[in-house]
Chain A
Amino acid sequence: DQQVKQNSPSLSVQEGRISILNCDYTNSMFDYFLWYKKYPAEGPTFLISISSIKDKNEDGRFTVFLNKSAKHLSLHIVPSQPGDSAVYFCAAKVDYKLSFGAGTTVTVRA
Chain B
Amino acid sequence: IAGITQAPTSQILAAGRRMTLRCTQDMRHNAMYWYRQDLGLGLRLIHYSNTAGTTGKGEVPDGYSVSRANTDDFPLTLASAVPSQTSVYFCASSAESSYNSPLHFGNGTRLTVT
Contacts and interface: CB of A to CB of B under 8 A. Distances in A.
A95 to B, nearest CB: 9
A77 interface: no
A34 interface: yes
Interface in B1-46: 4, 31, 33, 35, 40-45
Contact of B41 (A2, A51, A97): A2
Contacts, number: 56
Interface residues of B, number: 26
Interface residues of A, number: 25
A42 interface: yes
Given A36-B103, A43-B92, A102-B40, 20 more contacts: A6-B42, A9-B40, A32-B100, A43-B90, A43-B108, A44-B103, A45-B105, A49-B102, A89-B43, A97-B48, A98-B45, A98-B103, A99-B59, A100-B35, A100-B42, A100-B43, A100-B44, A101-B42, A102-B41, A102-B42
Interface of A: 2, 4, 6, 9, 32, 34, 36, 41-46, 49, 51, 89, 93, 96-103
24 contacts: A32-B99, A34-B102, A36-B103, A41-B108, A42-B108, A43-B4, A43-B106, A43-B107, A44-B90, A44-B103, A46-B103, A49-B102, A51-B100, A89-B42, A93-B99, A96-B99, A97-B48, A97-B58, A98-B45, A98-B103, A100-B35, A100-B44, A102-B41, A102-B42
